[in-house]
Structure 1
């Protein structure tokens, strides 16, 4: 295949288990890809401020896609390239239905291109893995549920305080509810993530690639979780990590090594003949 774009998930894929470190081998591999004229892109369930802190000073610094494909930002000037928002009526319907099933759960609305978090009173824990890493300041506040749901969200987070209630369990319920206008998924973080229907990492990549005249057949994607499934299927070569969940492996064209074993670099080196 003629590779023109390489897009990688972040947690469980690009970075090590500390959720912040890009290994030297992965850095060298992406630098070689860029030198070969290939576009590279970090795409994550995280928000741009958080992705930016990780890729700063690396070959992946530039445009990033966050919130599972709902927002894209140019890190050089913080310019928002696009946002895809979850409609208020849809998120209210989904949130109230989920809270009826899981009364102890709490909801967070992610807004303003990922720079504002409005959390329901009683929410415990970080909304974003590694949220202490921020390339620029972000806003966090607590509010009543009506306030949390009053404005469209880039992403709606639903978290249960009991760790025995897995996000995948909530995902099954959310999918069963089939609320129009919503797209629930999980990323390996300890909560359910809900975006706008039709929005995924694949939809963001399709837009990014089309703007550059890149055919999906010339795109390589790397991922490890359910929020990566669409882009693994969409790309000419979808690669799941050795540590990936079963759904991601089933969606991929091949499975590489564990993210701690530089599985991303291994494939890039092969494709570049290094």
Structure 2
């Protein structure tokens, strides 16, 4: 259990002036944002948010994260990435505890490798998705993330259109199996992409299907990400907070993309980056500087100075 933090959500709101919550009194009340609520957990997206445009943690941001941890605040990466992608920057950010991967599909401890929870897409559901999408969009390619994010099963042809940065995996290690094998076991995340069609276009087609059994989102990566029904970064964060005994209004969250929207709305105080997508900007209580200008650090420095 973390010790009381020095920052408070009420002070944060007063310091940063009018917010999206001021324009939406219903949402503010629903999050239980009571005066004096302490920040006990910081939930942060990585790409486009915590990391700079080169994909690294700046010295200023690392210092702010360390100061938050020293104040007894739990710092949790909440990301679309799998553990392999987290390990690439864990040392830079000082991440050694709980992390939420696959857009909230599962929670893992980076130190002990314990899996707190995992939500998988049922085999019949992902088979239906592939079948119904194929009827409208030819030549789609699929990959399945399994077993605490350590197993990646890619359809033949997927590696040819993938880059190292897409999944933080060398495409030569992705394998190449028939689509039937990709869909043969439940997935923590099902990835859908096309050699020439944009993720937004695929996402739009996916939105016309019966949504029973799955949820889909975009993270800014060159593919669509599909999780089990009800899975979002907010759902994963709620499960972790319940485990840690942390209340919703004690959470400060940062994000920039469509897959961050639910988390920004759910948290006691949601902060969008200046470079965020319109949906994330609309969901947040506050907009900070861009990830290129240490926007996360700017907010944390202000909170911890209260």
Contact conserved, 2:166 with 2:222, CA < 8 A, in 1?
no
The equivalent of 2:217 in structure 1 is 185
Question: Which residue pairs with 2:146 in the alignment?
Answer: 111
Equivalent-residue separation in structure 2 for 1:126 and 1:149 (angstroms): 22
Asked whether the 8 Å contact 2:155–2:179 carries over to 1, the reply is yes
Contact 1:104 1:160 in 2 (8 A): yes
Q: How far, CA to CA, are the matches of 2:78 and 2:165 in structure 1? A: 14
Shift of residue 179, structure 1, vs aligned partner: 2.9
The structure that is helix-richer by fraction is: 2
Query: For residues 203 and 127 of structure 1, do their structure 2 counterparts lie closer, same or farther at Cα, with a shift above 3 Å needed?
Result: farther
2:65 to 30, 36, 56: 30
Q: Which residue of 2 aligns with 1:136?
A: none
Contact preservation (8 Å) 1:52, 1:64: no
Q: How many Å apart are 1:166 and its aligned residue? A: 1.9
2:182 is the counterpart of 1:148: yes
Alignment map for 1:90-105 (pairs within 5 Å): 90-105=125-140
CA distance in 1, matches of 2:154, 2:122: 17
C-alpha separation between the residues in 1 aligned to 2:182 and 2:148? 16
Picking from 175, 180, 192, the partner of 1:158 is 192
Matched, 1:168 2:223: no
Moved over 6 A (4+): none
Paired with 1:107 and 1:55, the residues of 2 have a C-alpha distance of 28
Of the structure 1 ranges 34-43 and 78-87, higher mean CA displacement relative to structure 2 is found in 78-87
Q: In structure 2, how many angstroms separate the alpha carbons of the residues matched to 1:145 and 1:132?
A: 20
**Are residues 1:74 and 2:109 paired?**
yes
> 8 Å contact 1:116–1:140 — kept in the other structure?
no
- Higher mean C-alpha deviation, range 121-130 or range 1-10: 121-130
User: Which one has the bigger strand percentage?
Assistant: 1
TM normalised by structure 1 equals: 0.93
Number of aligned residues: 267
**1:53-92 to 2 correspondences below 5 Å:** 53-56=88-91, 58-92=93-127
How many angstroms does 1:60 deviate by? Answer: 2.6
Residue range with higher mean Cα deviation, 232-241 or 61-70:
61-70
Is this contact kept in 2: 1:46–1:129, CA < 8 A? no
**1:210-229 maps to which residues of 2 (within 5 A)?**
210-229=242-261
| Match for residue 196 of structure 1 among 228, 241, 252 | 228
In the other structure, the counterpart of 1:239 is: 271
Where does 1:251-270 land on structure 2 (aligned, <5 Å)? 251-270=283-302
Q: Tell me if the contact between 1:241 and 1:255 (Cα under 8 Å) persists in the aligned partners.
A: yes
String of CA shifts for 1:188-228, please: whole Å, max 9, x gaps.
Answer: 00000000011111011101111122111110110111111
Find the residue that maps to 1:16 and give its secondary structure.
coil
Match of residue 14, structure 1, among 50, 62, 74 = 50
Q: Structure 2: which 5+ runs fail to align?
A: 1-8, 10-37
Report if the CA contact (8 A) 1:34-1:59 is conserved. Answer: no
Q: In the alignment, which residue of structure 2 is the partner of 1:121?
A: 156
SS, match of residue 257 in structure 1: coil
Which deviations, in whole Å up to 9, do the C-alpha atoms of 1:112-165 show, x marking residues without a partner?
1111111111112048635149xxxxx632111111101000100000101xx2
Q: Deviations over 1:45-74 (max 9, x none)?
A: 000221122112533322211100011211
SS of 1:72 mapped into structure 2: strand
Asked if the contact 1:201/1:227 (under 8 Å) is kept, the reply is yes
- Taking the aligned partners of 2:241 and 2:95, their CA distance within structure 1 comes to 16
